[in-house]
Amino acid sequence: MKTMKYLPLKALAVLAIAIGFALPGKAQTLGNYYANIDWQFNFPLGNDFVKKGSGWGMNFEGGYYVTDNLSVGAFLAYHSNHKYIPRQTLQISGTESLNTDQQHTLFQMPFGVSGRYTFNREGMFQPYFSLKLGPQYGRLKTDFNAYQNSDNTWGFYVSPEIGMNIFPWVYRPGIHVAAYYSYATNKGNLMTYDVDGMSNFGLRLGVAF
Amino acid sequence: MKKLIPFLLAVFVFTACEKDADTDNLDNKFVVYTNYDKAANFKQFNTYYLPDSILIIGDKDKQEYWSDANAQKIIDTYVFNMDNRGYTRVTEREEADLGLQLSYVKNTYVYTDYGYPEWWWGYPGYWDVPYWGNWGGGWYYPYVVNYSFSTGSFLTELLNLEAAQGQNEKLPIIWSAYMSGMLSSSTEVNVELAAQAVSQAFSQSTYLTNK
């Protein structure tokens, strides 16, 4: 009986998705232009300076379809990740020692150009994959007691992304979801920490125009 | 190029979007920085002289010392740690192998030139070298120091009183400790934090022993 009870719901879900893909384009107010504004959750990878994920970031992107499916555009994103480092004694040189606890901040701000290939542009669900390239500004910062040290750094940024624009209503905006990986060549050092490259995995949720 | 200006301005604006870390998580104990002369043989010394007061670096142009019960608690912590490391406190400066001078930065009002790390050496009455002996060349650090400074900081300098004296000779500082932090509104808490920091300075300076 349970199977019978849930079967119609599953069927309805499948039907809704199928209809979504089959539905004609509803929101043509921007023509061949598109834009996304997102909140993002970012997880730094392979980085001892900051490992903890956070939701302190945004992503802005806009572009133009040069063919039915291929678009080019520009983007800017920024994110802050933090990590508390318990009190420890750092050997900051051959004879210098520093005892303190710390709050680390890793701020990343990539911007540049993007290329996107979108499927089913006329449908309710418009999945895509994209690649973003450009420079990345990064800042390593540590707060300890009343003090602060930081190191500014620039690198080259590359980020593959998969996502989907969803337009469930007649008018825009719709919903945007995405997952990305990014790597930047930024290098920096602060106190006893050396960072050589910045990798991230992240999720985005926002609005699609 | 002009078209780039709004874009660069936008980038500048977005850098202000950095989310500062929550510093409420910090333990608020003192930051403790130590440095020493790698060439010094700390085992060659046996005795030390420690004045019963802490010099206050404040907004006055004359010497001011801190010697009440709170100061004594901090000084006693130095004595405890120096004794633990095998050194003996003596009451006559001339008999001491080492000298310890303690200072507290009450504020930085007097100073206009921070161009060199040991800026407080210029403070009026700051542990005049003749207080310790005949070193006409003044003090010097045989190592590079990277102090920052702020109100509420404690400075500790350990002097090698066995160094050769003379008009052209300098008095070497073979160990230094800098302890600093946000002060609470409670004097008792601040003194306790300072005493903890003094012990920490010794803990992270394992070479400072004659054993």
Q: Which residues of A touch B (CB under 8 A)?
A: 54, 56, 58, 76, 78, 80, 82, 84, 87, 89, 92-105, 107, 109, 111, 137, 139, 141, 143-147
- Round to whole Å and give the CA distance between B66 and B79: 17
**Is A143 in contact with B23 (Cβ distance < 8 A)?**
yes
The minimal CB distance from B31 to the residues A95, A100, A104 is found for A100
DSSP bridge pairs for B178: B33, B155
Q: Is the pLDDT of residue A117 over 60?
A: yes
Report the pLDDT value the prediction gives residue B47, as an integer from 0 to 100.
Answer: 96
Confidence label for A19 from pLDDT (cuts 50, 70 and 90): very low
Three-state SS letters, chain A: CHHHHHHHHHHHHHHHHHHHHHCCCCCCCCCCEEEEEEEEEEEEECCCCCCCCECEEEEEEEEEECCCCEEEEEEEEEEEEEEEEEEEEEECCCCCEEEEEEEEEEEEEEEEEEEEEECCCCCCEEEEEEEEEEEEEEEEEEEECCEEEEEEEEEEEEEEEEEEEECCCCCCCEEEEEEEEEEEEEEEEECCEEEEEEEEEEEEEEEEC
Indicate yes or no: CB of A78 within 8 angstroms of CB of B38: no
pLDDT surpassing 60 at residue A10: no
A163 Cβ neighbours under 8 A, 6+ residues apart: A127, A128, A129, A130, A176, A177, A178, A179, A204
Considering only CB atoms, B31 lies closest to which of A78, A93, A147, namely: A147
pLDDT tier, A25 (very low <50, low <70, confident <90, very high otherwise) = very low
| This prediction's pTM | 0.79
Distance CA A199, CA A44 (A): 6
Residues of A within 8 A of B35 (CB-CB) are: 95-97
Q: Is the pLDDT of residue A1 over 50?
A: no
- Cβ contact A101–B27 (<8 Å): yes
- CA dist., res. B27 & res. A175, Å (int): 42
Please name the residue of chain B whose CA is at the shortest distance from the CA of residue A95: B35
pLDDT tens, position by position, A138-195: 999 999 888 888 999 999 999 999 999 999 887 778 999 999 999 999 999 888 889 9
> Which residues on B lie below 8 Å from A107 (Cβ)?
15, 18-19
| Set of chain A residues whose Cβ sits within 8 Å of the Cβ of B25 | 84, 103
CB contact (8 A) between residue B18 and residue A139: yes
The residue of chain B with its CA nearest to that of A93 is B35
pLDDT tens for chain B, 211 residues long, are 566 666 666 666 666 688 888 888 888 889 999 999 999 999 999 999 999 888 887 766 677 788 889 999 999 999 999 999 999 999 988 899 999 999 888 765 544 444 445 555 555 556 677 778 888 877 777 777 665 566 678 889 999 999 988 888 888 999 999 998 777 667 778 888 999 999 999 999 999 999 8
**Does A111 sit within 8 Å of B143, measured CB to CB?**
no
User: Reduced to 3 states, what is the DSSP secondary structure of residue B132?
Assistant: helix
Provide the ipTM: 0.84
